Amino acid sequence: MSSFPVIAIDGPTASGKGTVASLVADKLGFHYLDSGALYRLLALASEIQGIDVKNGPELGLLVPKLLILFKNNQITLNGEDVSEAIRTESIGLRASALAVHPAVRTALVGLQRSFLQAPGLVADGRDMASVIFPDAVLKVFLTATAPARAERRYKQLIAKGISAKLSDLLQDLQERDARDSRRGAAPLVIADGAKVLETSDLSIDQAVKIVLDWYQSIAA
Ligand code: DC
């Protein structure tokens, strides 16, 4: 693996890790990997092709056939803008369901590592520190309580004009937490050496500052 620095930010769904990770990347001028988006892209593509979410081998074979492009906050799949389509709750649940398969996880390793380019990378997901970038210079486990995360997701959806029910969202994310944490292949865990950042009572700016301070203290 190359020697460019990686900051790995793992955590449960709706913990705010995506927002924090992309802002940290902006501040440092680093590349940014939203690994969850790759699982979501596979969820969408396999749904369109009618592949059963339980069929790990076939899902794994679909990965190299996907033409994925991340550009200026836009994500295209086989030439089509799917930035919004991959963010629905149902695609999130499908992504969590197909992420249990070792064949899927293995098929995505190379693609995720290809994001590591000069001058460095901020990677967010579930297994960035434990599996994909075990040599990351900084490992952060970013979390918040389930009710705090459900409320954040509720506010995001309402702000986008999408109707939502707080109790359903809480149930969905607890279901996803349980599956992401209990699966045999690369479960969501606090990696050895990771620093835990509890953000229930922090603003985004505060969380970003803490991560940057941790990084500066290592890079200094
Ligand atoms: O971070 P997210 O909610 O966009 O991720 C969607 C699903 O993808 C998540 O429930 C589990 C899976 N995932 C994973 O297994 N490993 C990752 N590194 C990122 C996401």
Q: How far apart are CA 175 and CA 96, in angstroms?
A: 10
The class that CATH gives domain 6-219 is: alpha beta
Q: How far apart are CA 165 and CA 112, in angstroms?
A: 34
Per-residue pLDDT of the chain (220 residues; tens, 9 = 90+): 457 999 999 999 889 999 999 999 999 999 999 999 999 999 999 999 999 999 999 999 999 999 999 988 899 999 999 999 998 889 999 999 999 999 999 999 999 999 999 999 999 999 999 999 999 999 999 999 999 999 998 998 898 888 889 999 999 999 888 888 888 888 888 999 999 999 999 999 999 999 999 999 998 7
Say how many Å lie between the CA of residue 87 and the centre of ligand 1: 12
Return the SS3 of 93: helix
Domain boundaries, the chain: 6-219
Q: How far apart are CA 208 and CA 206, in angstroms?
A: 5
Q: Peptide bond before 119: cis, by omega within 30 degrees of 0?
A: yes
Say how many Å lie between the CA of residue 99 and the centre of ligand 1: 7
* Ligand 1, residues at Cβ distance < 6 Å: 13, 35-36, 39-40, 92, 95-96, 99, 125-127, 176, 180
Q: How far is CA 91 from CA 53, 85, 97, 124, 210, in A?
A: 11, 8, 10, 18, 31
> Which residue's CA is the closest to the ligand 1 atom numbered 12?
96
- CA-37 nearest atom, ligand 1: 4
